[in-house]
Amino acid sequence: MAIRQDFILRMIEQLAEAFGRIFAGDKVDDEQKALFEIEGALAKTFRTRRELLFMNPEDNIEEFDPRLSAEVGRMFLEHARLSASQGQSSASERSYALGIKCLRNAIGEDLSHSDQTSTDLMRELLRSQRITTVLSADDMAETWRDIFEEEARLQHYPAAEDALFHAIDLADDPADHVRRGIRFFENLLKLPDEVLDEADLPRVEVEEALDELREE
């Protein structure tokens, strides 16, 4: 286990260093060079050659530690963005799908060189139209549910509420999300009014949300 943890930390540090180097300025001056460097950094993480990077990396992604998955996911998304800018649509689509897959396994992780967390980035992606080319509505609902659980754990109650109702709206069968929501709001009602007010979720709004869920 110690060896694996050392490997994970080393890979995270290498990706963070590469990201900071490639995206140090306000914009990337040489996009082709940046793509080459991103592919090199990712190839090291997957322990493969650059030309084999996109040959079925999904199994490896499933095994990644969430911290590593967050950094890899962001790198793939940057690769997708730069590939699209260079007119490489197929490469962009492939990288985008892999980035989404990584980030879905990394909710709640910090990102190096950024004030954003992986949760923040995933939330932005879920609000974009492009994600519908990769995830079904039910997959999106499951991801919103994971965001809901993370925001609730952090006591970010309005953000948790927002994610919950996205999950319910998108799910093929929202029953499980509704049950989670009912428990969430019932627990909120046990908190003092001043705590709810400070969280910008007044008791009356909690009661209204709970009533809405009980009618589902």
| Rounded CA separation 196/96 (Å) | 38
- Domain count for the chain, please give it: 2
- 3-state secondary structure at position 110: strand
If asked whether residues 99 and 145 sit together in one domain, one would say: no
Helix ranges restricted to H, the chain: 2-22, 31-46, 58-63, 66-85, 89-104, 118-126, 137-153, 157-170, 175-188, 193-198, 203-214
What is the residue whose two structure tokens read 């730069």? 82
Structure tokens at 206: 């909690």
Amino acid 132: pLDDT: 98
Domain-embedded: residue 121: no
If asked whether residues 53 and 148 sit together in one domain, one would say: no
State the 10-residue block means of pLDDT for the chain, 216 residues long: 74 95 86 96 94 90 94 98 97 98 97 95 98 98 99 97 98 98 98 96 97 93
What domain range includes position 23?
1-112
If asked whether residues 100 and 5 sit together in one domain, one would say: yes
Amino acid 25: pLDDT: 76
If asked whether residues 88 and 141 sit together in one domain, one would say: no
If asked whether residues 99 and 206 sit together in one domain, one would say: no
Domain-embedded: residue 130: no
Amino acid 3: pLDDT: 44
Domain-embedded: residue 117: no
